[in-house]
Amino acid sequence: MSQAFDPNEMVLRFRERAEAVKRRGFPPVEGPERVRFIEAANLDFQDFAMLGDAVATLDDGVLRLEIDLRPPS
């Protein structure tokens, strides 16, 4: 790697991936396959959005992602 790793850039990429999942269309499938595709898209969005909301730090070679899952007060 010629460039230094920036954890905040990684978080931004996950945020962009979450938006891409929201925008992508559905393939022309029906029935159970369509349900499975939608379920997978929902999980993809959830995972990417959570990582996109993380506060990332890199301390002494250890990457930490802090994600506050508490409901808003």
pTM: 0.79
Binning pLDDT at 50, 70 and 90, where does residue 1 land? Answer: very low
Binning pLDDT at 50, 70 and 90, where does residue 72 land? Answer: confident
Answer yes or no: are the C-beta atoms of 11 and 56 closer than 8 Å. Answer: yes
Return the pLDDT at 28.
86
Largest CA distance in the chain: 50
Mean pLDDT over residues 3-31, rounded? 91
Q: Which is higher by pLDDT, 28 or 43?
A: 43
